[in-house]
C-alpha cells in the first residue's frame, strides 16, 4: 500500500535487525514510510545494514540500539525517532525471545527474563508510542507481536505462550483506552516462520525429544493448511495492512497470519 502525497509517515520497528522485524521494516519502507529500526546493541552491524537497505529504497531511516525491556532506553529510543525523523505515526513492537523448556525446569529468573522482553517490553513500547502520539494529536497505529502461541498454549513453550496471551490482553485494553485519541492497537499472530527463532526452537525440541536437525520444524509444519513454512514477508504483508488507513476500523484484535494452523 503506497502512501499518498505529503509528508511521509514515520514508523519504528523493534527487533528489526533480522527475521520478521527486518521483513516488516523493509515492507513499510517499500510502502513509502520513513522507518526507524531498533535492536540490541549486540546486533548493531545487522541493524545498520537494515537501515542502509531502507535508505536504498529512498526512505529515511535511523538505527537505534536499545533494550526494549528497559524503560529509560525505550523512552530515549522514541525521543530519538522524533528528534531525527520528526514524529512517530506507527509503532511495531516486534522484539521478542523464545525459550524451549519443560515448565518443571523453567527457573523464576528465566520466566522473568522472557516476560521482561515479550510482555513488559511490548507494554513499554506501546506506552511510549501512545504518549508521543497523544502529544502529536493526529492519532496513530500501534501494532504488537503476538503468536499462534497467544491463542493456544504449546508444550515446551509454556512461559512463551503465557507472554503472548498477555500481549492479547494488553492489546485489547490499550485499544479501548486510546481509541479517543484516534489510535488503533492490534497484534499479529504468526505461525511457524523461517527465522533464527525457529532454528532455536527446532534445535531445542530436537535435543529434548531426540530428533535430528529440521525434524521438529518438519513435524510442526505438517500442521500448516497452506502446506509451506511462513516467511517474514508473509507477516510483513499483514502488518503493512495494520499500519495503513485500510485498517482504520479494526482495533483491539490479535489476528492469525499463520497459513491456517489455528482456527478461531
Ligand atoms: N519465528 C516465528 O515462528 C514466530 C512465530 C510467532 C511469533 N513470533 C514473534 O515475532 C517476533 C519476531 O520473531 P523472529 O522470529 O523474527 O525472531 P528473531 O529471533 O529472528 O528476531 C528477534 C529480534 O529481536 C531482537 N531482540 C531480542 N530481545 C530484544 C530486546 N530486549 N530489545 C530489542 N530487541 C531485542 C533480537 O536481537 C532479534 O534481532 C517475536 O516477538 C516472536 O515472538 C515469531
Name the residue with cell 502529544. 135
- 109 and 54 belong to one structural domain: yes
Residue range 138-158: average pLDDT? Answer: 98
What CATH number is associated with residue 93?
3.40.50.720
- Tens digit of pLDDT for each residue in 87-122? 999 999 999 999 999 999 999 999 999 999 999 999
Q: Is 245 known to be catalytic?
A: no
Q: Is 80 among the domain residues?
A: yes
Cβ contacts of 237 within 8 Å, gap of 6 or more: 27
Dist. CA 121–CA 46, nearest whole Å: 21
- 75 and 198 belong to one structural domain: no
CB of 121 within 6 A of ligand 1: the answer is yes
Domain enclosing residue 213, as ranges: 194-229
Q: Judge whether residue 152 has pLDDT over 90.
A: yes
Backbone Cα Rg of the chain: 18
Residue 186 CB burial class (10 angstroms; 0-12, 13-18, ≥19): buried
Dist. CA 102–CA 157, nearest whole Å: 8
- Tens digit of pLDDT for each residue in 182-239? 999 999 999 999 999 999 999 999 999 999 999 999 999 999 999 999 999 999 999 9
Q: How far is CA 216 from the centre of its chain?
A: 24
- 100 and 171 belong to one structural domain: yes
- 147 and 221 belong to one structural domain: no
**Mutate-to-test residue for ligand 1 from 14, 46, 97, 116, highest number of ligand atoms within 8 A of CB:** 97
Q: How many domains does the chain have?
A: 2
Is the Cβ–Cβ distance between 189 and 258 less than 8 Å? yes
Q: Is 22 among the domain residues?
A: yes
- 220 and 91 belong to one structural domain: no
Angstrom distances, CA of residue 23 to CA of 37, 95, 136, 226: 11, 13, 27, 20
Put simply, whether the predicted model's pTM sits higher than 0.95 gets the answer yes
Instruction: Please tell me the predicted confidence (pLDDT) of residue 128.
Output: 99
Q: Is 109 among the domain residues?
A: yes
Instruction: Please tell me the predicted confidence (pLDDT) of residue 264.
Output: 82
Q: Is 146 among the domain residues?
A: yes
Q: Is 113 among the domain residues?
A: yes
| Residue nearest ligand 1's atom 30 by CA | 67
Q: Is 2 among the domain residues?
A: no
Closest alpha carbon to 219 in 235, 230, 206: 206
Q: How far is CA 219 from the centre of its chain?
A: 25
Mean pLDDT, the chain, whole residue set:
96
- 81 and 128 belong to one structural domain: yes
CB of 239 within 6 A of ligand 1: the answer is no
Cβ contacts of 244 within 8 Å, gap of 6 or more: 1, 31
Instruction: Please tell me the predicted confidence (pLDDT) of residue 3.
Output: 66
| Residue nearest ligand 1's atom 1 by CA | 193
Q: Is 126 known to be catalytic?
A: no
CB of 259 within 6 A of ligand 1: the answer is no
Dist. CA 32–CA 190, nearest whole Å: 24
**Mutate-to-test residue for ligand 1 from 13, 21, 91, 126, highest number of ligand atoms within 8 A of CB:** 21
Please tell me the number of Cα atoms within 13 Å of 54 on its side-chain side: 33
Amino acid at each position: 500500500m503506497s502512501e499518498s502525497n505529503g509528508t511521509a509517515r514515520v514508523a519504528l520497528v523493534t527487533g528489526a535487525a533480522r527475521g520478521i522485524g527486518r521483513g516488516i521494516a523493509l515492507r513499510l519502507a517499500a510502502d513509502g514510510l520513513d522507518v526507524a529500526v531498533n535492536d540490541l546493541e549486540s546486533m548493531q552491524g545487522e541493524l545498520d545494514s537494515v537501515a542502509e537497505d531502507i535508505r536504498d529504497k529512498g526512505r529515511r531511516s535511523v538505527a537505534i540500539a536499545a533494550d526494549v525491556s528497559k524503560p529509560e532506553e525505550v523512552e530515549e529510543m522514541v525521543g530519538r525517532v522524533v528528534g531525527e525523523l520528526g514524529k512517530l505515526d506507527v509503532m511495531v513492537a516486534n522484539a521478542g525471545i523464545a525459550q524451549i523448556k519443560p515448565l518443571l525446569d523453567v527457573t523464576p529468573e528465566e520466566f522473568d527474563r522472557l516476560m521482561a522482553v515479550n510482555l513488559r517490553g511490548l507494554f513499554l513500547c506501546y506506552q511510549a508510542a501512545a504518549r508521543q502520539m497523544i502529544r502529536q494529536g493526529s492519532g496513530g497505529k500501534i501494532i504488537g507481536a503476538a503468536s499462534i502461541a497467544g491463542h493456544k498454549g504449546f508444550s515446551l513453550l509454556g512461559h512463551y505462550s503465557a507472554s503472548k496471551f498477555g500481549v492479547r490482553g494488553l492489546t485489547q485494553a490499550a485499544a479501548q483506552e486510546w481509541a479517543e485519541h484516534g489510535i488503533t492497537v492490534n497484534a499479529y499472530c504468526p505461525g511457524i516462520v523461517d527465522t533464527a527463532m525457529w532454528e532455536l526452537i527446532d534445535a531445542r525440541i530436537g535435543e529434548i525429544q531426540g530428533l535430528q536437525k529440521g525434524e521438529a520444524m518438519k513435524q510442526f509444519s505438517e500442521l500448516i493448511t497452506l502446506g509451506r513454512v511462513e516467511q517474514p514477508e508473509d507477516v510483513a504483508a499483514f502488518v503493512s495492512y495494520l499500519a495503513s488507513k485500510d485498517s482504520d476500523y479494526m482495533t483491539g484484535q490479535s489476528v492469525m497470519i499463520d497459513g491456517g494452523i489455528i482456527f478461531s
